[in-house]
Structures are given as C-alpha cells and as structure tokens.
Amino acid sequence: MTTHAVRLEIAGVTVTVVSPDGAVTDWTARYIGPWWNAAGVAPEPVRAGPLLTASVDREAYDAAALEVTRAPHISTHYAREQMLLSTDDPSGMVQGLTPGSALAYRSDPGAGALEIIGCRTEDVATAAARLAREMVRGVLLRDGWSVLHASAVVHDGRVVLTLGEKGAGKTTTALALADRYGLGLLANDRVFVRAAREGGGVDVLPWPSAAALGLGLLDALGWFDIARVRLEGGEALHPTQDARVTEALLSGRMKPLREGGKELKAQVFPDQFTRWFGLTLATGGQAAALVYPRVEQGAVPAVEDRGRALREGDFLSGATEDRYPDVFAVARVDGGGAPAARREVARRLATLPHHCVVLGHDVRANADFLAKLTGCA
C-alpha cells in the first residue's frame, strides 16, 4: 500500500502527517503550507517530531467506535459536535469518537502520536489538518510562544498588529493593507508571539486558518466577482461555509446574510488569498506597531484620543478555545501560552507605538490612512 507523508516545519518545530490517502496529506499541505513550510517527504523515517496518522477505513472506524463506547467515557463537545471521550486508560491513552462526522481518535501524549480514523475523506482530511496544527501549537507553546488575538501584516520585516474585540475591524484592516499596498498578510485573526531571544523585540509567527469574510467585505475589497467566477468554474471555498453563502455568491447577492444576529460569511482557504486575490502571505516578522480600530458607518478615518493598551484578554487561553479544547492532550499547557511568557511579550509590546483609530466603510480610504499612520505607505 502506498503511504503519503507531509512534514510541517515552523520555528524549529516539526510535525509529520502520514496517510494511505494522498488527498488527506494534500489537504494538510494546502491548509497549512501557505503560512508554514509543508513539504512532502518519504513516509520512512517520519519521526522527526510528533506524528499524526490518518486513514479512511470503515471497518477500522467501527472497531474504534465500539472500543470507545464500551470503555468508561464522558460526553463533551469538540469542533461544534458531540464527542464521546475516554481518558481512563492506565497508559495515558486518550480515545475520542464524534459519531456525527464518523471520526475516531486515539492520542498517545507521551509518545507524541495521534491517530484519526474515519469514513469520509473530506472529514478525515479536515480533522487531520486541524489537529496537526494543534500539535505544532503545543510544541510552540512549550517553547515559550503565546497566542495573541490579532490580525497582522508585514512590511520589510516590521509587523503591524491589529487588536480588538470581535467585529472591531481586525480582518478588514489587515486585508485592506495587504490588498492595496502589497503588504504580506501574516494572519487575519491570531498570531504566535514570543519575546525575541536576541534583542528586545517580539517575534511574530502566523497561525494558519481559513478566514471568515462577509459578503460586504468581499464586495468592498473588489473580490466578490472574483470569488463568484471561481465558484462558477467549479472551485470551492472551505466546506465549513454555510451553503446559503455559496448561493449568494453565485447569484450575485452582496447583501450580508444573518442568522440569529450572526453574520454568515465566506470561508476562504489560505491558498485562495494568493491564487484568487493576489495577496502575498508572510511567514514571520517582528512587532513594530499596534492598532486598535473601531468601525463606524460614515466615519472619516482618524486617530482617536482614547486609551487602549494590551490586555490579558487579548491573549487566547484554554478557556477561550471552546471550539477546539485540548481534549487529546497534544498541547498540555494553557492554550494561549505560559503566563510568564505572556507578561514579557506584553511588557515589550507596551513600548511600541499604539494607535487608536476610527475607520469607516471605505476600504481604500482606511488603507491609505493606516499605511501613512504606521509608516507602510
């Protein structure tokens, strides 16, 4: 049987994904590779670091599912669905089962090994990419990195971080600068940060993920028709996207879609930023400035006289990672990094320029204003 393998590398951390199904490893490379180094490797030897194996096998899934249900287990939630979780194995093995997506998991934290078995290729591939990223995150956190809730762009190695609550304009700010001024897009929602081991700065790394973009933002960036043409040509956005968003794109309806007060958004793969929209993705840099935006309809972009500094809540933590808690013990530390590491990063970031701004709905005007303000023009 042919075995496929892809190795992920970032900041000295290596995780390998192995599968009999090349579609699974291709998905990981596509999802993570644009921001982290992802290279196909020979499946043997593969143990340069943590190892994730993933297979599509109905019989093996049925056997693993039976094993979980027969063992003592609890019911919890993971990736927005019910999971049966068994942690009573004397060896420390953790087993999980998500019946809705027909996925079974076996994690051996001591050996740095995780296995995923499922019935459908797309479900296995999506879970493998997600958990490979979590395995990398775990090693990075143990090596002193933290996770900051921010978007980021890079200009000549200088990183502009944009922070704020949900809806503050983090993604809009990053994409506007990347699109209009050709800055490297480092992240649209979160980044890894660590006090530089040489000098007094803060190093920044990307967090690979799909990006949620509203229909109005796609239109404002001039990307709506690009996405529509791509979809008409048979390409697809991320499978987590609501089908109603796809229908709106194909029919040319740009009005934002909402359900229960929440906007339904397009889910863009990392590689689609470059292939569809022509952006450059950055792989790292050093923090140079912090921006705290506030979006107001009809506003002219301007600096605001309001106080805002980095807060503990700007760092992600285990408590805030409710969609993907560390149920398989791949991180084994707080999801946002060690408190001491976060404090040192906060201390260093506090010395950088802070810009509290109000932005309007004119993406071009926002980009021009921010580029001049942060020295990226």
pLDDT band at 39 (very low <50, low <70, confident <90, very high): confident
**Phi (first) and psi of residue 160, to 5 degrees:** -100, 115
Pairing of strands 150-155, 158-163: antiparallel
Span 134-181, pLDDT tens digits: 999 999 999 999 999 999 999 999 999 999 887 778 898 999 999 999
The verdict on pTM exceeding 0.85 is: yes
Q: Residue 127's closest CA among 230, 190, 55, 217? A: 55
How far apart are alpha carbons 161 and 217 in whole angstroms? 20
Question: So what's the pLDDT on residue 320?
Answer: 61
Span 323-377, pLDDT tens digits: 788 899 888 777 778 889 999 999 999 999 999 999 998 999 999 999 999 998 7
pLDDT band at 113 (very low <50, low <70, confident <90, very high): very high
How far apart are alpha carbons 147 and 205 in whole angstroms? 9
Question: So what's the pLDDT on residue 376?
Answer: 83
Residues in the chain: 377
Question: So what's the pLDDT on residue 369?
Answer: 95
Residue 130 has pLDDT above 80, yes or no: yes
Q: What's the rounded mean pLDDT across residues 239-250?
A: 94
Residue 122 has pLDDT above 90, yes or no: yes
* CA separation, residue 266 to residues 31, 65, 210, 213, 224 (Å): 16, 33, 10, 5, 10
Question: So what's the pLDDT on residue 306?
Answer: 83
Residue 85 has pLDDT above 80, yes or no: yes
What is the chain's Cα-based Rg?
21
Residue 183 has pLDDT above 70, yes or no: yes
Domains plus CATH for the chain?
A: 4-142 (no CATH), 146-210+269-374 (3.40.50), 220-265 (no CATH)
Question: So what's the pLDDT on residue 322?
Answer: 61
Span 255-295, pLDDT tens digits: 999 998 889 999 999 999 999 999 999 999 999 999 999 98
pLDDT band at 316 (very low <50, low <70, confident <90, very high): confident
Helix (H) or strand (E) holding 116: strand 113-118
Q: With pLDDT > 90 as the criterion, what percentage of the chain qualifies?
A: 75
How far apart are alpha carbons 24 and 131 in whole angstroms? 12
> Residue 299: CB partners within 8 Å, gap ≥ 6?
358, 359, 360
Contact 188, 171 (CB under 8 A): yes
Question: So what's the pLDDT on residue 182?
Answer: 94
**Exposure b/e, 196-208, CB count within 10 A at least 16 = b:** eeeeebbbbbbbb
Question: So what's the pLDDT on residue 80?
Answer: 85
Residue type, 159: V
* Average pLDDT over all residues of the chain: 91
> Residue 281: CB partners within 8 Å, gap ≥ 6?
34, 35, 184, 185, 186, 206, 270, 273, 274
Q: What's the rounded mean pLDDT across residues 109-119?
A: 95
Question: So what's the pLDDT on residue 45?
Answer: 61
Sign of torsion over alpha carbons 87, 92, 98, 102: negative
How far apart are alpha carbons 88 and 71 in whole angstroms? 8
Contact 5, 16 (CB under 8 A): yes
How far apart are alpha carbons 336 and 206 in whole angstroms? 14
Pairing of strands 94-98, 81-86: antiparallel
Question: So what's the pLDDT on residue 43?
Answer: 66
- Spell out the alpha helix ranges (H) of the chain: 22-32, 58-70, 121-142, 170-181, 215-220, 224-232, 243-251, 270-275, 339-349, 363-374
Q: Can you tell me whether residue 51 is helix, strand or coil? A: strand
Q: Residue 189 CA to chain centroid, in angstroms?
A: 7
How far apart are alpha carbons 345 and 118 in whole angstroms? 40
Q: What's the rounded mean pLDDT across residues 226-232?
A: 97
Calculated CA dihedral for residues 207, 10, 37, 29, nearest 10 degrees: -60
Helix (H) or strand (E) holding 257: strand 257-259
